[in-house]
Amino acid sequence: MKPEQILVVDDEKRLVDSIAKWLTSQGFRVFCAYGGLQAIRLFNTHKFDLVLLDISMPDMNGYEAMAKMFELDTEILVIIMTGFASVESAVSALKQGAWDYLKKPFEYADLIKTVKNGLAQRNLIAQKKIYAARLEASEKKYQYMIDNSPDLIFTLDENFCFSFANQQFQYVLGYLPLELTGTPFDTILHEDDRGKLSRLFQADGPPPRDLSPGSSMALNLRFKKADDAGETEYNPNTAFTFMEMKASVLTLPDIESSHDFDGIYAVARDVTERVRLETQLRQAQKMEAIGTLAGGIAHDFNNILMSIQGYTSLVKIGFNRESEAYKRLSNIDEYVHNGAEMARQLLDFSRKNNRQAAITLNINYLLKTSAKMFGRTRKDIMIHQELDKNLWLIKVDESQIKQVLMNLFVNAWHAMPKGGRIVVKSQNVVMDREQAQKMGLDQAGDYIKVCVADTGTGMDKQTLSRIFDPFFTTKDRGQGTGLGLSTAYGIIKAHKGTFQVDSSPGKGSVFMFFLPAIKDRTYTNHVLSSAKNSDRLISGKGRVLLVDDEKEVIEVCKEMLETLGYEVLVAGAGAQAVSVVQNDTKGIDLMILDVVMPGMDGVQTYDAVRHLNPDIRVLVCSGLYPKQKIRQMINNECRDFLLKPFDIAKLSEKIESVFSA
């Protein structure tokens, strides 16, 4: 360890040398100065820990020398040596910064004791400064960490008012931390969450409760964001942030408080996004369950309709087209067609009917079918349609656009609890660059515009500004998640379109969306162009393997095929169909294959049969639109696809198409 350096200053050389000898014997490094000026010169070139300084010197008195030394080193420790016995001289020296004084003549022991005490004091002061600097650095570090933490960190006093809040309150909620001091915690919470925290920490509060120091509890609360004016009063239209909070008991040292409970310190984390994702997951799981149920119901329903339509078409063969019986049977056909369309719409909205990602269509068809489906459930609402007959075509995900329309219809219904009127309009729109930019569209060009107007309660400007926010809803609890319009908005934006809303209180609302039209004006949507099945029957010859797990479907299809002139083999399962093909010796000309079957499904059956007979013709049929794998099979290898339910005329038409391909 480096020895402390001491400067001895006195105009009496013998005294200086004696003191130097004594101090050196104690392990100190000693420098000698025989006057004030010499001392200052040494002070300029060396760093000293302590100075022994005489007051009375001819060239510069001790007071002047001490003042110069303090200018050069504010932390230097000075011990005055004076031959004057007056208290005034000692007091004066101490007032000017000296640490202690020695009265000449002094004993060796007194000198060593005073010097060591002085150096110990100096070291103590230096150590305190180090600790203070470390404490300050630590405080700054943790203050930085607290202020830059993504979490809300705060303390509340025993009355549950803010005593500290970090900067994140401003960034996340819009409150200035200093302005929160003294503010009751409950004022920034959702009305339904107020009092939850204080009740947990009350001695007579509900369990679990633990008021021991450091005990903590976790709870979820909704924090209210400050409005533009920074107000904290409850406003039902103000946004809330979902927070997961952990609060711990704060107990101050006895010197500061005599209470057992002095408040709490807490950390709250923004879990709004997690709540949103969890809500979406629950909604997706709910829709998946509904879709699974709907898929099973639709499958069975289509099989029932298949039997009805098949037998009806067989009976119609025996009647003249102008007869009353034929007309009544045709009405049954129409009802079957409507029932099948309802089943397909149900599958569309439950997202179990996986159609092509994007198809070209005329949205008027979707407007008609969606309005018809919604109208069946809400008889107290009139739906008026003003659709452009020459509307341009669009290329979209059909099921997603249906979801948008249904969400708009449901939103209008909620705005008209006592019934009312919905007006649906469609029209062509051409936008220049300026209009497109103003509307938030990527480019100018041709668009189709759809309007859904209601005669409901309408909305004020504040509600209008937030209707597309996830979870924002003006409905009562249990009537909606607040995701309907935000989902619709997301779908339209994903299709490179845009949304507009016009509304005012008491005057209803108009929801408008725009979608880019395609350039090909000659394409006709298959749904719009599909006419009713022709009554023309196309007879044929050959051996047909009919594969379906439903007995009723096999019976009616077998009879229709035999009526058309075909020899029919039947299989009630995929494995049975493979066995029939494997054991057949006469040759099978066509396999009509159901897609949805237990055990070996249609795809697996198709692969196994094609492995045995690569040349066999296959006509796939199902009550569902084909999924991706089946669609690929149809496009690349199968000859055609037949959608259930179908009649004998449609069956004969498809078989002819397969044989002529």
Q: At which of 94, 127, 160 does a domain end?
A: 127
Strands 216-224 and 77-82: unpaired
CA triplet 322, 654, 645: central angle to 5 degrees? Answer: 70
DSSP string covering 66-107, please? HHHHHHH-TT-EEEEEES---HHHHHHHHHTT--EEEESS--
DSSP SS3 for 639: coil
- Residues 286, 278: contact at Cβ < 8 Å? no
Asked if residue 488 is part of any domain, the answer here is yes
Domain-embedded: residue 539: yes
- Residue 397, domain member (yes or no): yes
Q: What is the pLDDT of residues 458-484, one digit of tens each?
A: 887 777 766 766 544 555 444 444 456
Whether 647 and 312 have beta carbons less than 8 Å apart is answered as yes
- 422 and 570 inside one domain: no
Structural domain harbouring 180: 149-270
Beta strand pairing call for 509-516 and 498-503: antiparallel
Q: What is the dihedral of CA 152, 155, 160, 162, to 10 degrees?
A: -80
**428 band by pLDDT with thresholds 50, 70 and 90:** very high
Three-class secondary structure of residue 271 per DSSP: coil
Q: What is the CATH number of the domain that holds 185?
A: 3.30.450.20
pLDDT reading at 513 higher than 50: yes
Same domain, 504 and 419: yes
pLDDT score of 232 more than 60: no
pLDDT at 257 over 60: no
Lowest-confidence region among 73-87, 524-538, 579-593: 524-538
Residue 326 falls within a domain, yes or no? no
Task: State the pLDDT at residue 213.
Answer: 59
Last residue within a domain, chosen from 494, 524, 554: 524
Residue 459 buriedness (CB in 10 A; 0-12 / 13-18 / 19+): buried
Measured on CA atoms in the order 565, 566, 567, 573, is the torsion positive or negative?
A: negative
In a domain, 375, yes or no: yes
| Alpha-carbon distances, residue 427 vs 132, 448, 498, 535 (angstroms) | 76, 6, 15, 36
Under a CB-based contact definition with an 8 Å cutoff, are residues 577 and 547 in contact?
A: yes
What's the helix, strand, coil split of the chain in %, to 5? Answer: 45, 20, 35
Task: Indicate whether 122 and 166 sit together in one domain.
Answer: no
633, 582: one domain: yes
Q: What is the pLDDT of residue 38?
A: 94
- Confidence band, pLDDT 50/70/90 cuts, at residue 277: confident
| pLDDT at residue 346 in the model | 61
* Length of the chain, in residues: 661
Task: Check whether residue 381 and residue 510 sit in a common domain.
Answer: yes
Answer yes or no: do 655 and 572 share one domain.
yes
Please give the span between the terminal C-alpha atoms of the chain, in angstroms, as a whole number. 102
Closest-CA residue to 628 (of 360, 355, 298, 401): 355
- Predicted confidence at residue 125, as pLDDT, reads 87
- Residues 574-628 pLDDT 10s: 999 999 999 998 999 999 999 888 899 888 898 899 889 988 899 988 876 656 6
Last residue of a domain, which of 499, 524, 549? 524
pLDDT value for 210: 55
Q: Are residues 266 and 401 in the same domain?
A: no
pLDDT range class, residue 657, cuts 50, 70, 90: confident
| CATH number of the CATH domain containing 75 | 3.40.50.2300
pTM of this structure: 0.50
Do 491 and 375 belong to one domain?
A: yes
Give 84 or 448, the one with higher predicted confidence. Answer: 448
- CATH number for the domain that contains residue 385: 3.30.565.10
Instruction: Please state, in angstroms and rounded to a whole number, the distance separating the CA atoms of residues 245 and 221.
Output: 7
The token pair at 580 is 């029939």
d(CA 102, CA 80): 6
Average pLDDT value for the chain: 82
Residue 546 lies in a domain: yes
- Does 454 share its domain with 548? no
Res. 251: pLDDT tops 90: no
CA distance 86 to 103: 10
Alpha carbon distance 227, 229 (integer Å): 5
User: Is 353 inside any structural domain?
Assistant: no
Q: Token match 């402390």: residue?
A: 4
Quick one: pLDDT at residue 237?
39
* Claim to verify: residue 458 and residue 484 sit in the same structural domain: yes
Q: Is pLDDT of 500 > 50?
A: yes
Same domain, 72 and 186: no
**Cα–Cα distance between 340 and 347 in angstroms, integer?**
11
Is the same domain home to 548 and 516?
Answer: no
As a whole number, mean pLDDT of residues 179-202 equals 85
- Counted domains in the chain: 4
Q: Does 501 reside within a domain?
A: yes
Res. 487: pLDDT tops 80: no
376 burial (CB, 10 Å; 0-12 / 13-18 / 19+) is exposed
Task: Give the tens place of pLDDT for each residue, 376-423.
Answer: 767 788 999 999 999 999 988 887 888 889 889 988 888 888 889 999
Band (563; pLDDT cuts 50, 70, 90): very high
Give every CB contact of residue 223 below 8 A, 6+ residues apart in sequence.
152, 172, 173, 188, 189, 190, 240, 241, 242, 243, 268
The distance from CA 279 to its chain's CA centroid, rounded to whole angstroms, is: 10
